[in-house]
Amino acid sequence: QQQQQQQHNHQELIWLFICFLGIMASFVCYGLLLEFATSGGRTLHELSFLFVTSGLYTLTAAAGRYVRDETPTTIPPARFAVLGLTSMGSTFFSVRSLRYVIYPIQVLAKSCKPVPVMLMGAMMGKSYPLKKYINVVMIVLGVALFMGGGSSHKTSSDDDGEAEAEVVEE
C-alpha cells in the first residue's frame, strides 16, 4: 500500500515537471513569436490574431477532450460564453498593449492578475487564507521593484536594435 502511494507520488512529480517544462517552453515560444510579429515594421492585426488563436484553442481543446475521453461539462453554456469573451478580451488587449511596451513588461504586468481576481472573489463572498494575500502582495511588490528599473517603452531608435512595433487595428 505504501509502495503504491510512493509510486503514485513519483508519477505526480514527473507530470508536474513535464507540465512545468511545457508551460515554460510555450511561454518562451509565444514571447519570441509575438516580439518577432510586432517589431521591425511588421504589422499584426489584433482581431486576426484573436481569430487564429481562438481557432487553435478550439482544435486543441477538442483533440484533448477526445484523447482524454472527457465527459461533457455541467457548466451552463451562458457561463462558458462569458468565460470565452473575457478570455478573448484579455488576449485582444494583451496584444494591443504591445504597441506601447515590450513583451517582457507585458508579462510582468500580467503577473499582477491575482489582485483583481482576489478582489472580485472577496466581493462575491469568497475568503482566502492569509498566506494567499501575502503571496499576492509579494508578487506585486516584486513586479513593482522589477519594473521600477529601466525603460518600459518601445523605442524607434535603430541604435539599440529594437524597432517600434506597428500594430494595425482591424
Amino acid at 39: S
Q: Contact 149/108 with Cβ under 8 angstroms?
A: no
- pTM here? 0.58
DSSP state of 40: T
Q: What is the CA radius of gyration of the chain?
A: 20
Helix residue ranges per DSSP H, the chain: 2-37, 46-68, 77-97, 103-110, 114-123, 130-147
Collect all residues with Cβ–Cβ distance below 8 Å to 43 and sequence separation of at least 6.
Answer: 166, 167, 168
Mind listing the pLDDT tens digit of every residue in the chain (170 residues)?
788 888 888 989 999 999 999 999 998 888 888 778 777 777 778 888 888 888 888 899 889 888 888 888 888 989 988 988 888 888 888 888 877 888 778 888 888 888 888 998 889 999 999 999 999 999 888 888 877 765 555 555 444 444 444 444 43
Distance CA 131, CA 104 (A): 27
